[in-house]
């Protein structure tokens, strides 16, 4: 393969001068392009599914708004498909929240030891100018890195517990409101 027009425009970790190695390099190159195209396609499908889910949610909201002032009719089947769907949805949302909160808690915990680690190093052997800069940096590193949602709500395992409690409290209040006359007034 001495023709200059047959070059593969990517890095191949082996010699491509023989026909077999050239074909193998070509296949590897095309597979990479295929997988990149496949990943873009899956992202597009995912976004399309999000839009489809939003459409369904809007239909549910419209349906409920149209029947907002109708008398409440209770489902007698407590394990309906909508109930199972809501439980699965709740579990997935909880999993999504706990992933962020759990690993943000690790970041917060580890960042608390940066200043101590610098102090435990051999900083005394450095020049006086660098020691002053290091002292300034250490005073800034005392403040832990706390990932926050919108710069307001800190992400931590305690936040996960708070969100879970708030969701359960909201569920309990709405359940009591829907039960209406069956609740006992104290």
- Residue-wise pLDDT for 99-155, tens only, equals 888 888 888 888 888 888 888 888 888 888 988 988 898 888 888 888 888 888 888
| pTM of this prediction exceeds 0.85 | no
Please tell me whether residue 154 adopts helix, strand or coil conformation.
Answer: strand
* Distance of alpha carbon 1 from alpha carbon 17, whole angstroms: 6
Res 62 pLDDT > 80: no
- Residue-wise pLDDT for 66-83, tens only, equals 776 666 655 555 566 777
User: How many independent structural domains does the chain possess?
Assistant: 2
Q: From the DSSP assignment, how many helices (H) and strands (E) are in the chain?
A: 5, 2
Smallest CA-to-CA distance from 118 within 108, 109, 126, 129 is with 126
* Tokens coding 13: 């970790």
Same domain flag for 81 and 159? yes
Alpha-carbon dihedral angle through residues 126, 128, 133, 139, given to the nearest 10 degrees: 90
Same domain flag for 31 and 98? no
Same domain flag for 61 and 86? no
Residue-wise burial string across 113-135, b where 16 or more C-beta atoms lie within 10 A, e elsewhere: ebbeeeeeeeeeeeeeeeeeebe
Unique residue bearing structure tokens 């039960």: 179
Last residue of a domain, one of 70, 105, 124: 70
Last residue of a domain, one of 51, 70, 89: 70
Q: Are 32 and 8 in contact (CB under 8 A)?
A: no
Last residue of a domain, one of 52, 70, 88: 70
Phi-psi region of 112 (alpha: psi -120 to 50; beta: other; left: phi over 0): alpha
Same domain flag for 79 and 171? yes
Question: Is position 186 within any domain?
Answer: no
Same domain flag for 88 and 165? yes
* Tokens coding 87: 């439980």
The single-letter DSSP state of residue 96 is H
Tell me which residue range forms the domain holding 38: 1-70
Question: Is position 46 within any domain?
Answer: yes
Same domain flag for 65 and 79? no
- Residue-wise pLDDT for 86-112, tens only, equals 778 788 878 888 888 888 888 888 888
Same domain flag for 81 and 62? no
Same domain flag for 150 and 60? no
- In degrees and rounded to multiples of 5, residue 77 shows phi and psi of -90, 110
Smallest CA-to-CA distance from 114 within 95, 135, 138 is with 138
């Amino acid at each position: 393969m001495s023709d200059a027009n047959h070059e593969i425009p990517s890095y191949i970790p082996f010699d491509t001068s023989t026909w077999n190695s050239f074909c193998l390099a070509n296949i590897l190159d095309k597979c990479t392009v295929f997988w990149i195209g496949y990943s873009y396609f899956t992202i597009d499908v995912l976004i399309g599914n999000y839009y489809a889910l939003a459409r369904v949610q809007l239909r549910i909201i419209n349906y409920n708004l149209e029947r907002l002032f109708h008398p409440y009719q209770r489902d007698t089947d407590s394990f309906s498909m909508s109930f199972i769907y809501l439980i699965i949805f709740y579990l997935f949302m909880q999993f999504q929240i706990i992933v962020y909160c759990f690993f943000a808690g690790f970041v917060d915990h580890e960042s608390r030891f940066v200043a101590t680690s610098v102090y435990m190093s051999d900083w005394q052997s450095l020049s006086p100018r660098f020691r002053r800069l290091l002292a300034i940096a250490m005073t800034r590193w005392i403040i832990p890195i706390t990932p926050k949602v919108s710069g307001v709500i800190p992400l931590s395992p305690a936040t996960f517990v708070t969100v879970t409690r708030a969701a359960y409290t909201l569920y309990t209040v709405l359940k009591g409101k829907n039960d209406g006359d069956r609740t006992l007034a104290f």
